[in-house]
Structure 1
Amino acid sequence: MFEYENRSYEDVDFGAQELRDGELTNCTFVRCRFTHGSLEEILTRGCRFTECDFRGAAMNGSIHIESAFENCKFTEANLFAAKFDNCKMTGSDFAGSKLDGFTVVRGDWSYTNLRHARLDRQDLRGARFFEADLSETSLQKADLRGADLTRCMLGNAKLQGADLRDAVLDGVDFKALDVKNVRMDRDQAVLFMRSYGAKVD
């Protein structure tokens, strides 16, 4: 186990290093590579990763608290049982990553690519998904109360049993949604009906 604190790295390749069980606090990484790296059960606190590459990395069981992953690539990374607590994930790409059992506690997931992700039964209350791509994502029985889904792409997303009450749905294409068994509040129901041309008084 190792502990790094207040360190800065730029254009460093960590892919071949053993980083499992480590702790990173207030560290900065710019354009660093963790490709296919071993980061199981790593803990980050207040760290900032900018344009870093985590493709194929093993990050299962990792915990991230108030860290930022901006414009990072997580393609085919293993994030099984990982936890992101109030993290800033803007612009990051999770295409093909393993997200089963991972946990999101609020945070900013704006502009992220989460297409085809399985987020069933996730507690996503209060998270921000501004203009995120959640197309074909499975959100069955997910709790999205109070989440910001402004202009979020939800085409062919599976929402059966999801709770959208108090979520911000401005700019969402309601015609692309299957709302069967979805919980909505009164204002959302009105928006949905108006999207189909209904006149609601």
Structure 2
Amino acid sequence: MLRKSIEDETFKGVSHADTPLDEAEYQNCTFRDVDLSSADLTGFKFIECDFVGCNLSMATLQGVSLRDTHFADCKMMGLFFDQCNPYSVTFSFNRCILDHSSFYRMNIKRTPFKACSLREVDFSGCDLSGINFDHCDLTGAKIEDAE
């Protein structure tokens, strides 16, 4: 259960391994050049947040809320977005590396993916309607049973 709410803060150049983020609801926060690789973010909430130049590779996203959250120039390899809270997922990706991640059976229609690397990403069973994969690398992406 989240007990803490953090609003309108900027986090810059920190590493979760050295200075772990508090399990909290982050609202209207900016994360710039933050290393969250392999971090356990179980139950965290990110609402109207921006991640710029961050590394979230291999982070645990169990029950995470990503509402109106934007990612730009982020490294996000091996993430299981399908473990996020399914009722609180709206996000966009710009120039991100999402290789080997999974969106399995998610409703991600109209999600912006711009100039992203999506190699070997699992989109099986997803609602992909209205998505524009402008300048994206979808080499080896799985789209079985996607709409």
- Please confirm whether the aligned pair reaches a TM-score higher than 0.5, indicating the same fold: yes
The 3 A distance-change label for structure 1 pair 93 and 34 is farther
Question: Which runs of 5 or more residues in structure 1 are unaligned?
Answer: 1-14, 159-201
Which aligned pairs between 1:1-201 and structure 2 lie closer than 5 A? 17-30=4-17, 32=20, 35=23, 37-97=24-84, 98=86, 100-158=89-147
Shift of 1:116: 2.0
Q: Larger helix proportion, structure 1 or 2?
A: 1
For normalisation by structure 1, the TM-score amounts to 0.64
Shift of 1:30: 2.4
**Aligned-pair RMSD on alpha carbons?**
2.1
- Cα distance in 2 for residues equivalent to 1:82 and 1:137: 19
Q: Larger strand proportion, structure 1 or 2?
A: 2
The 3 A distance-change label for structure 1 pair 62 and 138 is same
Work out which structure has the larger RCO, using CA pairs closer than 8 Å and 6 or more positions apart in sequence. Answer: 2
- Cα distance in 1 for residues equivalent to 2:62 and 2:106: 12
Question: Which runs of 5 or more residues in structure 2 are unaligned?
Answer: none
Shift of 1:123: 2.5
Letter in 2 for 1:24: F
